[in-house]
Structure 1
Amino acid sequence: MKHKIFFASSKLSVYFLITSVSLLITLFQIQLIKHPSSSPLTPIFLPLKDLTFATTPMDGNTWFMSSLNDTFEDGEAEHLLFPSPSFHHNLLLCFSGRHRSNGTKNSYALAPHHSLPSGAKLFKGLTFISDSYYDYENLWHGLSAMVPFLAWHSSNGCEKPERWLLYHWGELRVEMSPWVRMLVEAVMGEKVRIEDLEEKGEGLFCFERALVFRHNEGSMGMKRKNMVYDMMRCKARAFCGLGSGGGEGHGMVRVTLLMRKGARSFKDEEMVARIFDRECGKVEGCRLKVMRPNNLSFCDQVKLMAETDVLASPHGAQLTNMFFMDKNSRVMEFFPKGWKEFAGVGQYVFQWIAKASGIKHQGPWHDSNADTCPYTDNSRCFGFYKNGQIGHDQAYFTNWTAMVIRDMREYKLTEEYRHAQQELRSRKCLCTT
């Protein structure tokens, strides 16, 4: 028995020794990457995706370039800028690898301009580098990744990048949704150039200047968000040849019921449309449009929102367009059963956009009628409910719709509204030449 205990203790000691040595090596590598002048072995490349942070990939420094600390500026999203005289010895950022399915096979290092890694290609000018835990195809996910870059652009002399480098979990991405691309092009005033790294020799490259965001909007303050969303609204409308102010007629209320197909669509679209049409017909100057976002171009969507005072729609990416509406417009959002209980913070994303863009979110409606989740494990129930269809409550929808339309009409008859429209028409967009 004593021999077994001794043997187990020996194995445990060896395990702790190996773990300790591995940790010391990692810490040594981190010190080398932060202080390369201290060793002739530099540059030391570390994985872009650090699996030691796999359980907390969005916390702290994130698992993307985990050894480097962000720069925090008042009200701005945390970021990394290379080179920086006060940060990392004025070194350049270098990457190795172009893997699209395993971020641990891509790596990064810091190096002085006069001593770049052998065979490295130097990208001239400014490179915008994004790592997102989510994707760039979904409108909301793509928007939240782009907002910090557009904010930095507006507060740094409207400087534009030579190229974009996109990562998801440290894996290279070469596409973003056409809607996200068009929005960025509208704001920047030029085409988005996404680097694919396909013809770059051995896949070793450094950046003359690089701006890195890896937390999406992160710690950006509300005042700064309001400014960025104002700029995006203004620049998108100008890009699409629309006026700054969307007001039309004295007290006119323009209601858009934006439908979805399939997931999170209304079970009885005709009934929902009749409720909105009936209540709109009771208010002088109210006009209703029943629309679908399918096959609408970017500018079609901007125009539709610029001509909308009240937007009603199921929860979904199409609601991202709301910030193209005038400030103080109204939004009504509908959910299938199960979202309130199991969706977590994801159910609030359009309330966040509304707040950032000055839109008044009139509260969600959650359907309570659907099949009961068959799983005892609640973590599986959201998947069961996520894409369900949405029913309706005729009495509730009637009262809610009537209240929102009347409230919007009363606002559009105020001096506050007229003053806001005049100010909007006279104001130039940020970063307008």
Structure 2
Amino acid sequence: MTRLVSETNRVPPISYSPKHHHNNHNHHRTTSLYSPKLSICLLSTCVTLFILFQIQSLQTPPSSWSFIHHFQNPILNTTQTSTTTTIAAKFQQAVTFLPLKDLRYTQTAQQGHTWFMSSTYDTHEQGEVQFQHFPSKASKGRLLCVKGNDTHDGAWNSYALAWPETLPENATHMDGLTFVSYNHYNYDNIWHGLSAMVPFVAWHIKNECSKLPTRWVLYHWGELRTKMGPWLKILMNATFNGYVDIERFDDSGGGDRAVCFEEAVVMRHNEGGMSRERRMEVYDLMRCKARLYCNVRMEESREDGGRGLNLAVIGMTMLMRTGARSFKNESAVIGIFERECHNVEGCRFFVAHSNNLTFCQQVKLMSLTDILVSPHGAQLTNMFLMDRNSSVMEFFPKGWLKLAGVGQYVYHWIASWSGMKHQGAWRDPSGDHCPYGEDDRRCMSIYKSGKIGYNETFFAEWARNVLHEVKMRKMEKASEKGIAATASGCACS
């Protein structure tokens, strides 16, 4: 072990001569700082100081370390930024677009979610509308992106999901809420179009009418549609308090350029899954909004000869058709119902062709109507614009009962969903001859556009019964005002 000797305190050796050696032996020994105990003490002190220094070093890096870290930070930050950029670019390139129209399910297009956007699933609570919402927890925060401006073949249109930070390269970002509709049929027919719009109104109500669409994107079997029928467009305009902007993707850079929506709601099941109560809320809201839009006041429409409001007045309206499913002898049929109406005190009789009326004229006419008399056809969709508990009488040409399928009952359904009373249907037993036999499905091509005859005795008795029922019901409720729609958070009056 090396001896520890203090250089500054070292005492030089004392000089002595031999003659003094003996006498001074006990008093003048050579002085030395070497001592085993002192060495151990100093060593322990040094070790303790060293340990304390190391502990302090772990807690607070020396100034020289700070310099090293200061030198390394730009390098690390640059490396991290480069790595993040590379990962983001890879995510952008990894966005996979799938066909909007999945050809694997061509034969089962209307049997579930597997036809349009087949890899995604709906959110569906009991009794509520089925929908998809992007971004949401269900989409893991991803946005909906589409390459979807082809109007002829839905297989050429595609969709993908992407995170906001890693949208596909050159994608166009569209702000606001977008309603994306998929319809089995079309948006020109007011019944088919309305059935596709109802779920959006239901979602609107579910969100307390706080969210309004910035735009609509319409697809029919995966093909882009750039318009809806005027009647339907005005109704949606009235319901959502603004102009209906239908997206055309004119500025999206072509079919190969992606468009990503800040927020999107997708509907592809029409009214499927909705409870009757929820549907009635939807029709109540649309009825009320349409009347407000058209400035129809029930107090004015129900005035009785200037004597004020009279809810005991009965409005009977014949809404006629031309061409297919019109009456063969229109004047004779009108005469029967007009006569029966005039036999009931307070009954007012109206005749109109819906294709000759504007939207607001139809709204006003239906607000005056308690009994709607009409052949089967899209014009019957107007029934939900009547007050709840109003009545509907429907007429069919020959052959429809056996061959038309479930589609012939759509106005039974809408009557139930909108709170109306479907008072039955008359089916003409006579009509055009079919050479294949009346039960042959090929006959439907003949019967579909057939015209409707009449049975004076049956029509008169049917009209009397319905008028009597409506009269009794209105007398019981004469003191009540017409129903105004009130949905949770969406009051309308």
Q: What is the TM-score normalised by the length of structure 2?
A: 0.76
**Secondary structure of the structure 2 residue equivalent to 1:90:** coil
**Secondary structure of the structure 2 residue equivalent to 1:387:** coil
CA distance in 2, matches of 1:63, 1:394: 48
CA distance in 2, matches of 1:324, 1:359: 10
CA distance in 2, matches of 1:370, 1:259: 19
Instruction: Say which of 106, 114, 127 aligns to 1:75.
Output: 127
Partner of 2:440: 378
Instruction: Say which of 321, 329, 338 aligns to 2:399.
Output: 338
Partner of 1:3: none
CA distance in 2, matches of 1:214, 1:243: 35
Q: Is the 8 A contact 2:92 2:167 kept in 1?
A: no
Q: CA offset at residue 314 of structure 1? A: 0.5
1:229-262 Cα distance to aligned partner (Å, 9 max, x none):
0101111111111125664535321111111111
Q: 1:60 to 1:37 in 2, by over 3 A?
A: farther
Matched, 1:261 2:322: yes
Partner of 1:393: 455
Q: 1:113 to 1:294 in 2, by over 3 A?
A: same
Q: 1:110 to 1:430 in 2, by over 3 A?
A: same
Instruction: Say which of 175, 186, 199 aligns to 1:124.
Output: 175
Q: Is the 8 A contact 1:234 1:429 kept in 2?
A: no
Instruction: Say which of 177, 200, 220 aligns to 2:229.
Output: 177
Partner of 1:295: 356
Q: CA offset at residue 374 of structure 1? A: 2.1
Two-structure CA RMSD over aligned residues (Å): 2.3
Map of 1:148-297 to 2, 5 A cutoff? 148-158=199-209, 159-202=211-254, 203-244=257-298, 247-248=302-303, 249=310, 251-297=312-358
Q: Is the 8 A contact 1:231 1:429 kept in 2?
A: no
Q: 1:431 to 1:62 in 2, by over 3 A?
A: farther
The residue identity in structure 1 corresponding to 2:379 is Q
CA distance in 2, matches of 1:429, 1:68: 30
**Secondary structure of the structure 2 residue equivalent to 1:235:** helix
Matched, 1:304 2:365: yes
The residue identity in structure 2 corresponding to 1:199 is D
Q: Is the 8 A contact 1:139 1:177 kept in 2?
A: yes
The residue identity in structure 1 corresponding to 2:365 is L
Percent same amino acid at aligned positions?
A: 50
The residue identity in structure 1 corresponding to 2:461 is N
**Secondary structure of the structure 2 residue equivalent to 1:333:** strand
Q: CA offset at residue 41 of structure 1? A: 6.0
For the pair shown, which has the larger CA radius of gyration, 1 or 2? 2
CA distance in 2, matches of 1:157, 1:426: 11
The residue identity in structure 2 corresponding to 1:209 is E
Partner of 1:145: 196
CA distance in 2, matches of 1:425, 1:167: 30
Q: CA offset at residue 387 of structure 1? A: 1.1
**Secondary structure of the structure 2 residue equivalent to 1:93:** strand
Q: CA offset at residue 281 of structure 1? A: 1.9
106-115 vs 366-375, greater mean Cα deviation: 366-375
**Secondary structure of the structure 2 residue equivalent to 1:89:** coil
**Secondary structure of the structure 2 residue equivalent to 1:358:** coil
Instruction: Say which of 321, 325, 349 aligns to 2:410.
Output: 349
CA distance in 2, matches of 1:219, 1:404: 32
CA distance in 2, matches of 1:177, 1:93: 27
Q: Is the 8 A contact 1:251 1:410 kept in 2?
A: no
Q: CA offset at residue 373 of structure 1? A: 2.1
Matched, 1:102 2:156: no
1:38-58 Cα distance to aligned partner (Å, 9 max, x none):
988621111000011111111
Q: CA offset at residue 332 of structure 1? A: 0.4
CA distance in 2, matches of 1:233, 1:418: 22
Q: 1:405 to 1:233 in 2, by over 3 A?
A: same
CA distance in 2, matches of 1:426, 1:184: 18
CA distance in 2, matches of 1:141, 1:426: 25
1:121-179 Cα distance to aligned partner (Å, 9 max, x none):
01111110001011000000010000000111122132101110000000000000000
Partner of 1:9: none
Q: 1:370 to 1:235 in 2, by over 3 A?
A: same
Partner of 2:490: 430
The residue identity in structure 1 corresponding to 2:160 is A
Q: 1:53 to 1:157 in 2, by over 3 A?
A: same
**Secondary structure of the structure 2 residue equivalent to 1:54:** helix
Q: 1:206 to 1:431 in 2, by over 3 A?
A: farther
The residue identity in structure 2 corresponding to 1:306 is S
The residue identity in structure 1 corresponding to 2:157 is N
- Unmatched runs of 5 consecutive residues or more in structure 1: 1-35
Partner of 1:33: none
Map of 1:8-19 to 2, 5 A cutoff? none
Q: Is the 8 A contact 2:287 2:485 kept in 1?
A: no
Q: CA offset at residue 426 of structure 1? A: 10
Q: What is the TM-score normalised by the length of structure 1?
A: 0.87
Q: CA offset at residue 99 of structure 1? A: 0.5
CA distance in 2, matches of 1:428, 1:97: 35
The residue identity in structure 2 corresponding to 1:338 is G
CA distance in 2, matches of 1:265, 1:327: 27
